[in-house]
Amino acid sequence: MRHSLSACALATLHARISADPDFATLQAVDLHALPTTGLAHDHIRLGDSGWLARVPKQSQFGLAALDNLRYQAACFRRASACGHAPRLQRVLLPCTELPLGALIVEYIAGRPLHMPAELARIAPALAALHNLPLPAPAHQPPLRDSADAVASELRTIQAQAAFLPDAALSVDSQAQLDEELHWAQRYAAQTAGQLQPVRLIATDTHPGNWLLRQDQAVLVDWEKGQYSSPAIDLAHASLYTSTTWDVVAAGAPPLQAIAAFYQHWLEAAAPDLAKPLRPWLLPLRRLVWLRAVTWCVKWRVASRQARRLEQPNSAASTEDWSAECSDAALVTHVQNRVDHYLDPAVMATVRQEWAPGSPLQDL
């Protein structure tokens, strides 16, 4: 799937990178675009330097261009301390030809996960991330403070659910979503004030965002790091809407394998983190699934809109889900996934995970 950068943008990218003494010998022909499998970034390998340019197409958090770069830079710097995230080399500020700028990050020479068999390989990497010490509140910005994970997830869910009237869901799908939305509101009210363990989390941990390098799992996408519940990462890594999302790393594991994945993490995580988090694992899984399917609702509506034309150094949000931002083959793939996840039979199957008798009830 092809990148979205123009020839002028690529020329500008090369000129700005090669102005750095560390890349003085980099030639334009050394820039190699990697296959684009996501809606938010293009990735350009910088020859054999061991680095790549990560060029945003938008901010999924709705940040302005410069704020988005600063946010992601902080994510990479902090996450790389666990040994399972790329290192950051530098930030390229926005300019006319690159209105959203770019980040230069470590190129991970690895392979995609073989799903569903290799889901468990993610668990120790996530445990290493979640075992990082929690910074004092004054040192957490610019990353989001989402310590009340339930309330934070519910806010996102409700914002995305605002697109429901225009999403043309089936009557059955709409009814199932209504039931889950009502449950989420009740659960948030019941647990208000009951805070769970908080750590640095990645948020977007689906298997397609991982590469295996010398048998070590590395999470390469760090746009949405925040301080919140590790249960969010565990859910997003293993839900059906994640394990079947990617173009390459796709394959749904059985529920017994998902339960084993959670157990691997519980054994690798620090005891003072694992034990108090257990009661939250299944409810957060349910909330993260609801966030995923309401995102599908939002994308179905927002992807029909025209692409925004960004101006460098604008303070406006750069969130943009227009289908015009991405390669047609990628858009077709996403459309297929969205339609599949909003199918009432698929929704009903996923909802069995939290029904009585599910293997996940014993998490």
pLDDT mean by block of 10 residues, the chain; 363 residues: 83 96 95 89 97 96 96 99 98 95 98 97 99 98 98 98 97 99 99 96 98 96 98 99 96 97 98 98 99 98 76 66 78 96 99 96 90
Q: Residue 15: what are its φ and ψ, rounded to 5°?
A: -60, -40
Q: Is the pTM above the cut of 0.75?
A: yes
Cβ atoms of residues 133 and 252 within 8 Å? no
Distance CA 261, CA 249 (A): 17
Structurally, at CATH architecture level, domain 7-106 sits in 2-Layer Sandwich (3.30)
Cβ atoms of residues 289 and 241 within 8 Å? yes
Q: Which part of the chain has CATH 3.30.200.20?
A: 7-106
What's residue 130's pLDDT? 99
What's residue 311's pLDDT? 57
What's residue 139's pLDDT? 98
Q: Which part of the chain has CATH 3.90.1200.10?
A: 111-362
- From residue 312, alpha-carbon distances to 59, 62, 95, 309, 332 in Å are 14, 15, 5, 10, 29
What's residue 37's pLDDT? 82
Distance CA 51, CA 139 (A): 28
Distance CA 120, CA 97 (A): 42
What's residue 39's pLDDT? 84
Residue 314, token pair as written in the block? 């604008």
What's residue 328's pLDDT? 86
Number of neighbours of residue 170 by Cβ within 10 angstroms = 12
User: What is the DSSP code string of 333-362?
Assistant: HHHHHHHHHTSHHHHHHHHGGGSTT-GGGG
Q: Top-level CATH class of 111-362?
A: alpha beta
Cβ atoms of residues 48 and 92 within 8 Å? no
What's residue 318's pLDDT? 81
Tokens 């015009």 belong to which residue?
A: 324
Residue 254 half-sphere exposure toward CB, CA atoms < 13 A:
2
